[in-house]
Amino acid sequence: AQKITQTQPGMFVQEKEAVTLDCTYDTSDPSYGLFWYKQPSSGEMIFLIYQGSYDQQNATEGRYSLNFQKARKSANLVISASQLGDSAMYFCAMSSRAGYALNFGKGTSLLVTP
Amino acid sequence: NAGVTQTPKFRVLKTGQSMTLLCAQDMNHEYMYWYRQDPGMGLRLIHYSVGEGTTAKGEVPDGYNVSRLKKQNFLLGLESAAPSQTSVYFCASSHGQGVSGELFFGEGSRLTVL
């Protein structure tokens, strides 16, 4: 069975600093996708970044990058130059065989302080 | 561009009442999903559909039924609501063309069962 683990319930970071949110996964499938979503206090789910299991390079999207270490089964999200608006819940997720639905971790709450 | 629309946004039910949540997408996506979000639990898959006329069970299907009579709509029904079904419900859709398919989410529907 697939499993996503986010071990950090809450994180603090100072504005303009970089922060890493941890995500480890477990799957026996050779082909899978890894996703990060942001959920601000308003509640919507915002897609941030995607990494495929066969992608050779780490994914980047603006200030977001995904540190993909396949052998360690980790897919950590790195946010550079944090902004106050980055304060939110962050979910790591992996695509599953069930209609390519995503299995989600329990999330990490990030608070960016001035 | 509406994307994924859920109705209603909020609802309060009494134990034993029934209701239906409606999800509509205008992106011509084949795949649709219903998740529930509870504090500290992340998002858990209730049911999903890989095309018009098809439905399948996810991780937590008990107490829910679904229908996909039209490609653009995915309905989630509660026949006899229970307090354990108090949650925020998210509908999502995707093109379903493999593990790289990003899920597009609705804004969520907050359901309280008294």
CB contact under 8 A, A52 and B100: yes
**Which has the closest alpha carbon to B103: B94, B91, B114?**
B94
> What is the predicted pLDDT for the residue at A100?
87
Residue in A99, A105, A106 nearest the CB of B31 = A99
A30 at B interface, C-beta within 8 A: no
If DSSP codes are grouped into helix, strand and coil, which group holds residue B84? helix
Residue in A95, A99, A105 nearest the CB of B42 = A105
> What is the predicted pLDDT for the residue at B40?
86
| Residue B5 clears pLDDT 80, i.e. is over it | yes
Contact between A2 and A105 (Cβ < 8 Å): no
CB contact under 8 A, B50 and A32: no
> What is the predicted pLDDT for the residue at B1?
65
Surface of A (84-103) touching B: CB under 8 A: 91, 93, 95, 98-103
Rg, chain B, Cα only: 13
Task: State the smallest CA–CA distance between residue A61 and chain B in angstroms.
Answer: 14
Query: Rounded to a whole number, what is the distance in angstroms from the first to the last CA of chain B?
Result: 35
Distances (CA, A) of A12 to A64, A84, A107, B16, B40: 17, 11, 14, 43, 18
φ, ψ at A21 (rounded to 5°): -105, 125
Rg, chain A, Cα only: 14
A 10 A CB-CB count for A26 gives 11
If DSSP codes are grouped into helix, strand and coil, which group holds residue A84? helix
pLDDT tens track for B54-97: 999 999 999 999 999 999 999 999 999 999 999 999 999 999 87
pLDDT tens track for A56-105: 999 999 999 999 999 999 999 999 999 999 999 999 999 987 778 999 99
- Distance CA(B95)–CA(B74), nearest Å, equals 15
A8 at B interface, C-beta within 8 A: no
A50 at B interface, C-beta within 8 A: yes
Task: State the smallest CA–CA distance between residue A99 and chain B in angstroms.
Answer: 6
Contact between B45 and B60 (Cβ < 8 Å): yes
- Mean pLDDT, rounded, for A12-24: 98
Residue with tokens 């709450």: A109
Residue in B48, B58, B105 nearest the CB of A45 = B105
**In the numeric block, which tokens belong to residue A80?**
């550079």
Instruction: Provide the Cα torsion A10, B58, A32, B38; round to 10°.
Output: -10
